[in-house]
Amino acid sequence: MKLRQIGIFLGVSSVLTIGSVSAQPNNSTISRGLEGAPKKAAPSCDVTPKDPAIWDKFITAGFNYTDGNSKTTTLNLNGKVMRDYQGDAWRFEADYNYGNAAADGETTREVNKNNFRALGDYKHTLDSIFFAGANASFAWDEIADLNHRVILSPNLGAYLVKDDVTTFSLEAGPSYVWEELGGEKDDFAAARIADRFVWNISKSALLYQSAEYLVSFESSSDYIVNAELGIEAPLSSSVNIVFAVRDYYINEPAEGRERNDVYTLTGLKVNL
């Protein structure tokens, strides 16, 4: 019985095979008929990858103006230049914020936000995890009565996660601070701990977070916390909309000033 089934199966297979072969067109005839005709190039699906040696450059701007019952003006300008190439990661950033507002019934607007910050950050990868680097920052804030604050911070750190989608690093080291706060000049050594997190949700959308904590070696009550959380979403191939929250905390502020300043920022980021 089994031999009979096998025979039937082989017979049917032979018929199908012979039929398919006989149905094939004469390829040699077609080839001869198309000789001399122009040939269309095969479409390419390759996308030219970004050269990692090229610096990334961005400008972000946000502006808001209201008049009438509510009188407010806010302006934010931010510029970033960065590159992560062959084990060396560089990041430079400058940020300016301005704002004014008028009380109900008043025509004169009073400045309620006027500050400038800049930073430079460098990381040299020692192996797949650890890195050595340095961080320098400058801050000026009219409302906080901060004439200047300069911080220099060598550091050692580690990448807890680093791939094409997510980067998360921790770093620590000594710092030295020069500042003029509330009309009083001071300089002191401090310890610094910082982290930075970037999640590339897609090729043009991302979530980012950074924070740093500095505490004076002379007094544990003299400390500073700077933090930022933001998200970007694409509007076009070169323009993103950005929303961010920033928190600047000084535990020993200038006389008559608050310890904490919180800003929310919305703007358009242009990829240069």
Per-domain boundaries in the chain: 2-33, 56-271
Is the pLDDT score of 38 beyond 90?
Answer: no
What pLDDT score does 42 carry?
A: 47
| Composition of the chain by helix, strand, coil, percent to 5 | 10, 60, 30
99-139 confidence digits (pLDDT tens) = 999 877 677 889 999 999 999 999 999 998 999 999 999 99
Is the pLDDT score of 186 beyond 60?
Answer: yes
Are 265 and 243 within 8 A, CB to CB? yes
Kind plus residue range of the DSSP H or E element containing 245:
strand 239-250
227-248 confidence digits (pLDDT tens) = 999 999 999 989 999 999 999 9
The class of domain 56-271 in CATH terms is: mainly beta
As a whole number of angstroms, the distance between CA 206 and CA 232 comes to 5
What pLDDT score does 133 carry?
A: 96
Q: Tell me what the pLDDT averaged over the chain comes to.
A: 85
Are 267 and 242 within 8 A, CB to CB? yes
Give the residue with greater pLDDT, 47 vs 158: 158
Lowest-confidence region among 81-85, 104-108, 153-157, 162-166:
104-108
What pLDDT score does 53 carry?
A: 85
Is the pLDDT score of 162 beyond 50?
Answer: yes
As a whole number of angstroms, the distance between CA 231 and CA 233 comes to 7
Give the residue with greater pLDDT, 217 vs 36: 217
39-56 confidence digits (pLDDT tens) = 444 444 444 566 778 999
Are 267 and 77 within 8 A, CB to CB? no
